[in-house]
Chain A
Amino acid sequence: MKATHLTDEEIQQYALDRTACIKVIEHIDSCEQCKEKAEAYRLLFAGLQQQPQASFNFNLAELVMEQLPVPTPKPLQENVLIYIFIATGIAITAFTLFYFRKYVAILFESITPIFIYLSVTACLTLSVVLITDMYKNYKKKIHTLDLYKR
């Protein structure tokens, strides 16, 4: 058993969780002064738990939502323009490949198939990574812009 009185820290710990302080239980059981202190702390903690929770007298969610940007659908014109660009790109590539098909065939004849597969896989992987990264950056910037627009 501890002969000297317990420190405030030990008593607080005991008041918080009696089971975790086996070493001090014996002292507290036999020391009126420390027992009183522990009881005072226990009352204090109970009082703290029973304190009413603070709350605003206005609707916080409503106030915040008023300040957030309202999501607007993309104008139709903007979407059509994007599709036209994509279609034009595909058409030009297809036309070029079709027009120069003889040369393209000759070009690939001299390369081994494994090299072609590797090149295509590498290009596709790189493209996917770059496009994903670009898309993420785009979303982030648009999100920030939307907020500052207001």
Chain B
Amino acid sequence: MTQTNTANNEADKNLVKRVLNGDTPAFTTIIKNTEVLVTQIVFKMIQPNDRKDLAQDIYLKVYKNLAGFKFHSKLSTWIAQVAYNTCFDYLRKKKVLLPANFEEEHELNTASSDEVILSIQQKELSAILKLAIEKLSPIYQTLITLYHQQEMSYAEITEITSLPEGTVKSYLFRARKELKNKLSLKYQKEDI
């Protein structure tokens, strides 16, 4: 594992060096290597119409600031951080609600509805879950994606979002609870 990380770091260093020395096409490899992660962040935080521009902005910023990258973290983590900050600034400008302003929606006692979730078919669950995730706040969506889909550690998420680790854990806990409640609520409604 450590050997793989070291090899990746060396490859990243080599790529960055090539770009800084004027080999601009090497930047394509950097984009290809990190595109999946950046796309997940952009999709979770930004409305469809603005995603294309934001994604380009992110990589132009990365290119412009590449000389300032000191390899204190993985290149992909640093680029994800640039993506998150760009999207966060956009949300702030658009005055989109952030988790601190969010009220705990649908706080209901779900004790009796857990068995309803258990009865949902896997395929059905996936479709409903997709809709439920889209209803979460952009930050919650991003954290859920980074942790559960991209399988990042709390430390990596902390680095990307610049949120304290305790806050990341608390937001994730609330997001998961909200998701479970939304699923239960949806099924209770359908049962009625």
**What is the interface of chain B mostly: helix, strand, loop, or mixed?**
helix
Residues B183 and A44 in contact, CB atoms below 8 Å apart: yes
Instruction: Report the contact-size class of chain B (Cβ under 8 Å from the partner).
Output: 35 or more
Number of interface residues of A (CB under 8 A): 38
Of the 9-residue stretches A20-28, A63-71, A78-86, A110-118, which lies at the interface with chain B? Answer: A63-71
Q: Is B10 an interface residue (CB 8 A)?
A: no
A17 CB-CB contact with B under 8 Å: no
Cβ-defined partner of B60 (8 Å) among A39, A46, A54, A64? A64
Q: How far is the CA of A44 from the CA of B26 in the complex (A)?
A: 40
Stretch at the interface among A89-97, A99-107, A123-131, A137-145: A137-145
Contacting residue for B31 out of A9, A40, A64, A143, CB 8 A: A64
In the complex, the chain A residue whose C-beta lies closest to that of B172 is A12
List, in ascending order, chain A residues with CB within 8 A of B59's CB. Answer: 60, 64
Per-position 1/0 for B148-187, Cβ under 8 A of A: 1100000000000000000000000100110110010000
Of all chain A residues, the one with the shortest Cβ separation from B35 is A60
How far is B180's CA from A46's CA once the two chains are assembled, in angstroms? Answer: 13
**Interface check B115, CB cutoff 8 A:** yes
Contact A54 B31 (CB under 8 A): no
Bound complex: CA A45 to CA B149 (Å)? 9
Q: Is B6 an interface residue (CB 8 A)?
A: no
Binary interface encoding of chain B residues 11-54 relative to chain A, with 1 for a CB under 8 A from any of its CBs, else 0: 00000000010111101100110011001100110000001100
Chain A nearest CB, measured from B78 CB (Å): 17
Check B60 against A139 for contact (C-beta < 8 Å).
no
Identify B56's interface contact among A39, A46, A54, A60, CB under 8 A: A60
A150→B159 CA distance, assembly (Å) = 32
Taking the complex as formed, is A56 at the interface, i.e. its CB lies under 8 A from any CB of chain B?
Answer: yes
In this complex, what residue of A is CB-closest to B40? A54
When A43-B125, A68-B27, A139-B67 are in contact, do A53 and B149 touch as well, CB less than 8 Å? Answer: yes
Contact B126 A50 (CB under 8 A): yes
> Are B64's CB and A144's CB within 8 A?
yes
Known: A48-B144, A56-B55. A67 touches B40 (CB 8 A): no
- The reply to whether B149 and A56 form a contact with Cβ atoms under 8 Å apart is no
Does B91 reach chain A (CB closer than 8 Å)?
A: no
Q: Which residues of chain A are within 8 angstroms of B52 by Cβ–Cβ distance?
A: 56, 58, 63
Query: What are 10 of the A-B contact pairs (CB < 8 Å)?
Result: A40-B117, A40-B180, A44-B179, A47-B126, A51-B126, A51-B133, A67-B60, A68-B24, A69-B24, A71-B22
Q: Which residues of B contact A (CB under 8 A)?
A: 20, 22-25, 27-28, 31-32, 35-36, 39-40, 43-44, 51-52, 55-56, 59-60, 63-64, 66-67, 110-111, 114-115, 117-118, 120, 122, 125-126, 129-130, 133, 144, 148-149, 173, 176-177, 179-180, 183
| Known A51-B149, A65-B31, A147-B63; further 16 A-B contacts with Cβ < 8 A | A37-B111, A41-B176, A46-B122, A51-B126, A53-B36, A53-B149, A55-B39, A58-B52, A60-B35, A61-B35, A64-B31, A64-B59, A65-B25, A68-B27, A140-B67, A147-B64
